[in-house]
Amino acid sequence: MKTDTQEKKKLSRKDFLKLAGVATVAGGAGSLLGLKKGLAREEQPTQAVDVDLSKLPQDIVQKNELLRMQEDLLRALKKPLKERKWAMVLDLRKCIGCSACTIGCKAENVLPPGVVYRPVMDEEIGVFPKVTRRFTPRPCMQCENPPCTPVCPVKATHKREDGVVVVDYERCIGCRYCITACPYNARTADFGEEYTEGTPKVEEYESRPSFEYKKKWPRKHGVSPIGNARKCHFCIHRIEEGLLPACVTTCIGGATYFGDNNDTDSLVSELISRPNITTLKSELGTKPKVYYIWG
């Protein structure tokens, strides 16, 4: 004779199987739809989610660094271009060397082999057993006095009014003189390779377009940015859509800060004004707008 509990168990197992079946079908359809949507999305630049930060409690926004930076960004975008001064702060105490920012940047900008905008340098310091490691992400320093721009023979690279150093892919002749002139090795060359080259099929995700500089750049043989010098541009195509750079949102340690250094209320301005801030190779007088917190 079956007890009530056994009956309930049986029923619940049945229900579970039914539910699981429905869920699998629904989930499968959902993922198919999602995948389709995702693939379609790859043909479009990343869009900002329509969230009104002013409706959130201010103490939450102020306590959450990402939300605060988002708010700083939206405030900066209301100002004319020349009144913004984008800056990045990297807190090396928080960087764990996971390279999520490097990969996030690679995915965002569809970077091919040999092109990297933001590698994370890994140094071992000390002698065993007293050793430690220091991770230093190295985006473009967006120098106030960039040595890379005056050397360009066709004026294809220049500093924008907001301080971001950009490359005009349609004008760049690919001489790579700018690459030699950067004291931070922050410029790279696109030789037109693919990661899946040499395998039976070059995967489609490698030929999806990049949306750098707010333009669509399909990846085609002989077409820019293939053959060009390429560099970090603080994701200006995202910034101007109200999104933080990809390296900021993918940093799992919360070590990357971004904002307007012309705004005294911004988080980056607050961090830059602290005494423990420094820049790379400050003796060169390039005046980087990427700052580091060492300790």
Partner 1 sequence: MRLLYKIFWGICFAVGAMAVGERLVIGKKLLNLGSYVTWGLWVSLYIYLVGLSSGAYIFTSLASVFKLERFAKLRRISLLTSLVTLLAALVAIVLDLGHWERFWYVLIYPTPSSMMSWMVWLYSLYLLLLVTQVFFVFSAKAEKARFLFLIGFPLAIAIPVCGGSLFGVIGARPYWHSAIFPVLFFFEALLSGVALITFLGIVFGLAKDDKEEIFIILPKILLGLLAANIVLEASVMAVPLWGQIAYHIDAVKLVLFGEFWWVFWIAHIGLGCLIPLLLLLSKTNIIKAAVASGLIAITFMSVRLNIVIPALAIPELKGLESAFIEKRLMFSYVPSLHEWQVSLFIVALAVGLFYAGLKLLPSLERRKA
Footprint on this chain of partner 1 (rule: CB under 8 A): 99, 102, 113-116, 119-123, 136, 138, 147, 150-156, 171-177, 179-185, 187-193, 221-222, 224, 226-229, 280, 284
Q: Whose Cβ is closer to partner 1: residue 189's or residue 236's?
A: 189
C-beta closer to partner 1: residue 256 or 266:
256
Q: How far apart are CA 68 and CA 266, in angstroms?
A: 8
CB of 239 to partner 1, least distance (A): 24
Least separation in angstroms between CB 189 and partner 1: 5
In this structure, the dihedral spanned by the alpha carbons of residues 195, 201, 204 and 208, taken in order and rounded to 10 degrees, is: 50
Cis peptide before 225 (omega within 30 of 0): yes
Distance in Å, CB of 220 to partner 1, minimum: 11
Smaller CB separation from partner 1, 143 or 243: 143
The least CB distance from residue 20 to partner 1, in Å, is 43
Of the candidates 212, 256, 245, 206, which has an alpha carbon nearest to the alpha carbon of residue 230? 212
For residues 200 and 227, what is the distance between their CA atoms, to the nearest angstrom? 25
Considering the complex, state which of residue 68 and residue 289 has its C-beta at the smaller distance from partner 1: 289
Shortest distance in whole angstroms from residue 174 CB to partner 1: 2
Q: Of 74 and 179, which CB lies nearer to partner 1 in the complex structure?
A: 179
Smallest distance from partner 1 to CB 89, Å: 18
Rounded CA-CA distance 184/167 in Å is 17
Nearer to partner 1, 229 or 255 (CB): 229
Nearer to partner 1 by C-beta: 174 or 253?
174
Smallest distance, Å, CB 163 to partner 1? 19
Cβ atoms of 102 and 284 within 8 Å: the answer is: no
